[in-house]
Amino acid sequence: MVLLPVKCPVCNGIDVTKHGNTSNGKQRFICKDRTCKGKTFIQDYSEKGRLPETKQQIIEMTLNGSGIRDTARVLGISPATVINELKKRTRIARRESQFFSDPRV
């Protein structure tokens, strides 16, 4: 029997514990490092659009001027996945910009 350490995809730390299962039975993990910004993650994703690398490629291709359908075709995912990821990133950016521009902080 070989035990492989599970690494956090955000900080690459190995201080990781099990954190329940997903609805389709896959093991969920959580990083215990206090400086890590990541939440829970799964070791092996069944859908390509949920991979952190794919999400990063969506952002990079959008910043380089690729359209939604072009990005979806190149990455082999649905255009709806591209749109949803871009919407999510827009909401996060707005929330952060409001936090940093708030005069009460």
Per-residue pLDDT of 53-91, as tens digits, reads: 899 999 999 999 999 999 999 999 999 999 999 998 887
Question: What pLDDT, on a 0 to 100 scale, did the predictor assign at position 3?
Answer: 78
In this predicted structure, the answer to whether residue 92 has a pLDDT above a threshold of 80 is no
What tokens were used for 22?
């997903």
Whole-model pTM over 0.75 = no
Give the full edge-to-edge strand order of the sheet including 40-42: 16-21, 27-31, 40-42
User: Are the beta carbons of 6 and 29 closer than 8 angstroms?
Assistant: yes
Instruction: Report which of residues 69 and 10 the model is more confident about.
Output: 69
Phi-psi region of 53 (alpha: psi -120 to 50; beta: other; left: phi over 0): alpha
Rg (the chain; Cα; Å): 17
How much is the average pLDDT of 8-14? 84
